[in-house]
Amino acid sequence: MKFFGRALFFISLVFIFSTSSVFAASKWAGLSQCKSYAEEVSHYLPQQLDAVTVWTNAECWPGGDGTIARFSYSLSIPENKAYPKFVKDVVYEGLINSWCTTPETREFLNSVIVEAVYSLSNGKYITSLRVSKDMC
Helix (H, G, I), strand (E, B) or coil at 59: strand
pLDDT of residue 12: 52
Helix (H, G, I), strand (E, B) or coil at 121: coil
pLDDT of residue 46: 96
- Please say whether the beta carbons of 34 and 111 come within 8 A: yes
Structure confidence by residue, pLDDT tens digits, 4-58: 444 445 445 544 554 444 444 434 567 888 899 899 999 999 999 989 999 999 9
CATH of 6-135, one of 3.30.300.250, 2.40.30.10, 3.30.470.10, 3.40.640.10: 3.30.300.250
Separation between Cα atoms, residue 46 and residue 107, nearest integer Å: 25
Show the CA angle centred on residue 99, arms to residues 31 and 131, nearest 5°. Answer: 65
Structure confidence by residue, pLDDT tens digits, 82-96: 889 989 998 999 999
Separation between Cα atoms, residue 123 and residue 111, nearest integer Å: 29
pLDDT of residue 8: 44
Terminal Cα distance for the chain, rounded: 24
- Please say whether the beta carbons of 99 and 136 come within 8 A: yes
Helix (H, G, I), strand (E, B) or coil at 83: coil
Average pLDDT over residues 105-123: 92
| pTM of the entire predicted model | 0.78
Residues in CB range of 129: below 8 A, 6 or more apart? 87, 88, 91, 92, 95, 115, 116, 118
